[in-house]
Chains A and B, each alone.
Chain A
Amino acid sequence: MSRRVRDAEPDPYSFGSRPYDLVKEFTIALLAVLALTFVLAAVFSSPDDKPMTIASWAKADPGDFTATALAELDGSSGTAGYGPPYNTAADGQKLGPLALAKLAGVTHPIDTAQAFVLGPLGSALQNTPVTAALSTYSGAAADQQAKWTGAYSDALTKANGDPTKVAAGDYGPVPVLLTQLLAQAQAGSLDGALLSEGGFYQTDYTLPLLFLADGSDLAAQADTQHLSGDQWGMMNETGNFPGQAWLWLYTFWYQISPFNSSDNADAQVWGIMALLSLVLVFVPFIPGLRSIPRLVPIYRLIWRQHYAEQRQRRP
């Protein structure tokens, strides 16, 4: 009986009360926050780094663009080998024994050769050499296509990624296709073409963004802004602006072993953070954790006036 009475918290008003204006307090708080916001916004503004476009990428780094387009064509790009939700080239990550990605399945199917190369080329008005190259490539058997793309890939590497310096060789229609795609990209039509593949009205930027991410320039620019995964990037913002500092614990795991080298790091970190989130929500029920406030007695400072008054009242 005594333990149960101890457990119950006393009525909040049993220690006395004072008049208090709740609405006035809220109004003052609102005005204060509004004023602070006006000032902070005026003094510091906000970041707005221009997005990278496929056109800007292709113009600044035609070698990287060409190499990426080739990788989409021959199925060696990041997206081509990703697995769910884009394709079945891989199984996706596992959280322990759970293959959740595979379970969710391929809900946004992407055939990279078609989506990023052959489709945009085919949907534009082309001159005869390009039309011929397209039909040659599409009509060839898969292993013939692989021979051409493989040979061109090796030659591009030997030419240090510069498509203009590739040695002569048997690459079939591949060079014509990629040169034309580069021209379309630099002219700006690929940005729109990739976006509107789903229809006239579009808000889904999956294709242009995956294409950019398959290249190196987006990541390179992010790295100069300290936004990379191994730079605690999740917390950071471009320039000197504060970022999402509250993501510190999420990005922390990626900085340490074993997650910094695990193939399933994303799933594992996600699992850890989901668990810790549950811990946060259910703190009141977790023995030990819920005792920390008593063990680290900051409460004595918070309620020091109250305790002093209670001591005075008792004889």
Chain B
Amino acid sequence: MSEQVGTTPVAPAEAEGGGWTGAVRRRAVRALPPDKLLPDTQPAYVASWIYVFGVLTLAAFIVVLASGCVLAVKGPAWWHTSGFGHYVNSMHLWSVELFMAFMVIHLWGKFFMAAWRGRRALTWITGSVAFLGSVGTAFTGYLAQQNFDSQWIATQAKDGLNSVGIGAYFNVLDFGQMLMWHIVLLPAVVGILVVWHILLVRRRGVVPPIALSDRLDEAAPSTESVPEPVLSTVPDAEREAGS
């Protein structure tokens, strides 16, 4: 199945050609070559239990999605009348509690590591927006319970949202709308942010430790080729004198 590629015969070296597809492929592979996408080594300084909370959050997210899928099979009213359905609902609730707990611990750790250093601001941004999106997803989930709790949450939350005009378009009293935001729109947004977040971590690598002093010889032999404009500096007055 050969394709016409302009007037230049396609060379195996893939330096150019292939149209849009080739360009996207080259860009993707340049940003994330396979051994960067799935490395089998890690930097030596990754030596703390705090580092497991990212993957724990991801694992919990998957359990949340999976339990949600099971609930979707029989519809939103199933769990009220089926013992097994109630158990799956319980799994959904507790995996969400675990997800939020692991995510917040992960956030605490990343904050105190100043993990946005070295061109990693977007990693922080995607992570924190995913956090906010998760809060919103959980909120719509509570609205979709179809029990007393959801009645109360809906009639209370409407005041907050109406007060700033959002309630005019996002009606928390509309079960159908809230359910679709909960199972379609918000998980998609959170999912995209999570994937982007993880790819950024793979692309930039795990953030190195904060240097204990500002002496030049403290810097490792190979610095990044493009020094980053001031995102991670601390004014001299605040910098600690050596360790």
**Contact present between A and B (CB < 8 A):** yes
In the assembled complex, which residues on chain A have CB atoms less than 8 Å from the CB atom of B149? 47, 49, 227, 237-238
Interface status of A199 (Cβ within 8 A of chain B): no
What number of residue pairs across chains A and B have CB atoms under 8 A from each other?
A: 339
Interface status of B118 (Cβ within 8 A of chain A): yes
In the assembled complex, which residues on chain A have CB atoms less than 8 Å from the CB atom of B29? none
Residue total for A at the interface (Cβ-Cβ under 8 A): 113
Stretch at the interface among B13-21, B156-164, B181-189: B156-164
Contact B55 A25 (CB under 8 A): yes
Interface status of A154 (Cβ within 8 A of chain B): no
Interface status of A200 (Cβ within 8 A of chain B): no
When chains A and B are docked, how far (Å) is the Cα of A26 from the Cα of B202? Answer: 14
From B43, B113, B116, name the one whose CB has the most chain A CB atoms within 10 angstroms. B43
Contact B171 A303 (CB under 8 A): no
Q: Shortest beta-carbon distance, A76 to chain B, in Å?
A: 18
Q: Shortest beta-carbon distance, B170 to chain A, in Å?
A: 10
When chains A and B are docked, how far (Å) is the Cα of A105 from the Cα of B95? Answer: 39
Residue total for B at the interface (Cβ-Cβ under 8 A): 116
Interface status of A244 (Cβ within 8 A of chain B): yes
What residue of chain A has the Cβ atom nearest to residue B55's Cβ?
A: A29
What residue of chain A has the Cβ atom nearest to residue B95's Cβ?
A: A37
Interface status of A75 (Cβ within 8 A of chain B): no
Partner of A49, one of B93, B125, B147, B160: B147
What residue of chain A has the Cβ atom nearest to residue B145's Cβ?
A: A48
Interface status of A275 (Cβ within 8 A of chain B): no
Contact A302 B50 (CB under 8 A): yes
Contact A218 B220 (CB under 8 A): no
What residue of chain A has the Cβ atom nearest to residue B209's Cβ?
A: A303
Contact A281 B128 (CB under 8 A): yes
Q: Shortest beta-carbon distance, A188 to chain B, in Å?
A: 17
Given known A-B contacts A11-B223, A13-B205, A29 and B86 have beta carbons under 8 A apart: no
Contact B210 A52 (CB under 8 A): no
Contact B176 A204 (CB under 8 A): yes
When chains A and B are docked, how far (Å) is the Cα of A104 from the Cα of B44? Answer: 55
Q: Shortest beta-carbon distance, A204 to chain B, in Å?
A: 4
In the assembled complex, which residues on chain A have CB atoms less than 8 Å from the CB atom of B114? 290, 293-294, 299
Q: Shortest beta-carbon distance, A304 to chain B, in Å?
A: 9
A-facing residues in B46-75 (Cβ within 8 Å): 46-48, 50, 52, 55-56, 58-60, 62-63, 67
Contact A305 B116 (CB under 8 A): no
Contact B95 A33 (CB under 8 A): yes
Mark each residue of chain A from 245 to 271: 1 if its CB lies under 8 Å from any CB of chain B, else 0: 111000000000000000010110111
When chains A and B are docked, how far (Å) is the Cα of A266 from the Cα of B162? Answer: 9
Interface status of A168 (Cβ within 8 A of chain B): no
Contact B164 A267 (CB under 8 A): yes
Contact A5 B42 (CB under 8 A): no
Interface status of A164 (Cβ within 8 A of chain B): no
Contact A205 B173 (CB under 8 A): yes
Contact B164 A26 (CB under 8 A): no
Q: List 6 A-B contacts (CB under 8 A).
A: A10-B222, A30-B63, A84-B165, A209-B173, A277-B132, A295-B238
- The list of the 3 closest CB pairs from A to B, nearest first, reads A203-B176, A9-B118, A104-B165
Q: Add 15 more A-B contacts to A14-B221, A49-B148, A204-B174 (CB < 8 A).
A: A12-B206, A13-B43, A20-B42, A22-B42, A33-B63, A37-B98, A40-B97, A46-B90, A48-B147, A212-B155, A227-B149, A246-B100, A266-B164, A280-B132, A303-B45
Residues of chain B whose beta carbon lies under 8 Å from any beta carbon of chain A? 38-48, 50, 52, 55-56, 58-60, 62-63, 67, 79-80, 86-87, 89-95, 97-98, 100, 104, 109, 111-114, 116-121, 124-125, 128-129, 131-132, 135, 138-139, 142, 145-152, 154-156, 159-169, 171, 173-177, 179, 205-212, 214, 216, 219-224, 226-235, 238-240, 243
